[in-house]
Amino acid sequence: MTIKPIRKAVFPVAGLGTRFLPATKAMPKEMLTVVDKPLIQYAVEEALEAGIEQIIFVTGRGKGALEDHFDISFELETTMRARGKSLSVIENIRQQPGSPVYVRQQEPLGLGHAVWCAREIVGDEPFAVLLPDELMVGTPNFMAQMVAAYNEVGGNVIGALEVAPEDTDKYGIISPGARDGALTEVAALVEKPAKGSAPSNLMIPGRYILQPEVMRILDAKETGAGGEIQLTDAMAKLIGKQPFHGFTFNGERFDCGDKTGFIMANLALALDRADIGPAVRAFAKARVG
């Protein structure tokens, strides 16, 4: 079996971020910062560190700040140079000419539809999908661990993390087969199963490595849970036709699409910082007693 390298990554970033209003009224939710970096930058850095070469953003209206963030800021850089300040904090943000690539999702028809919007750029290659709302912290990072696993088994590899049984109705859930270390064979997938009916408590945490055939399935634009075009449903049709594994991440996950998870991420990453960690820890202790 020939295993093609993962060179491209799709970032669905067209969502409105209504759970964070009013903060997201005029700012993309992906630009919300955890300590001093926006969520989208964490996700892009994760992909690049995993060996991804081309970044593909699937955007919507009002997402211009994302493009500006990864572009040259001539005025800012000129001012910083004139004041003798280091540009190291922003130099790594800037991407190579031609990357990122931006495509539009004209209507919010679901995650599957967002991924399908990138089909012409993905072409006939396997590709990664990263959801920036899900902040993953670990060494090596989540996508790097997944790429290493993919290079061994090929096919499709998706994230697999345990959640509380009472929360399984919120996620795409894996029906597991045989397990080998961090890899679990995927027997079936269910999108947001009704309470008490989930086949396991293994959820899909917003990281995917998929074969291009999933795009042909998404071409049909079949709707599923919530009346949306679900990526989980399309992936399920590949099971039995191609190798399909879940991969359990050795690290931490923060759901930054939720206010509580977002605050937890800020606190956890701040505490780990040498420059601000001691002050944050002292404040937290004094605050909670």
- End-to-end CA gap in the chain: 59
**DSSP annotation of 193:** P
Lowest mean pLDDT among 85-99, 193-207, 239-253: 85-99
Contacts of residue 282, Cβ cutoff 8 Å, sequence gap at least 6: none
Query: What is d(CA 89, CA 163) in angstroms, rounded to the nearest whole number?
Result: 36
Give pLDDT, residue 116: 96
Q: Please state, as a whole number, how many other Cβ atoms lie within 10 Å of the Cβ of residue 246.
A: 26
| Domain coordinates in residue numbering, the chain | 8-257
Q: What is the mean pLDDT of residues 136-164?
A: 95
Chain centroid to CA 164: 21
pLDDT tens readout for residues 181-218: 999 999 999 888 888 888 999 999 999 999 999 999 99
The answer to whether 170 touches 193, Cβ cutoff 8 Å, is no
Confidence of residue 1 (pLDDT cuts 50, 70, 90): low
Does the pLDDT value for residue 93 go beyond 70? no
Q: Which of 159, 155, 147 is nearest to 211 (CA)?
A: 155
Mean pLDDT of the chain: 90
Confidence of residue 92 (pLDDT cuts 50, 70, 90): low
CATH of domain 8-257: 3.90.550.10
Sign of torsion over alpha carbons 22, 273, 128, 7: positive
Contacts of residue 112, Cβ cutoff 8 Å, sequence gap at least 6: 218, 228, 229, 230, 231, 232, 233, 234
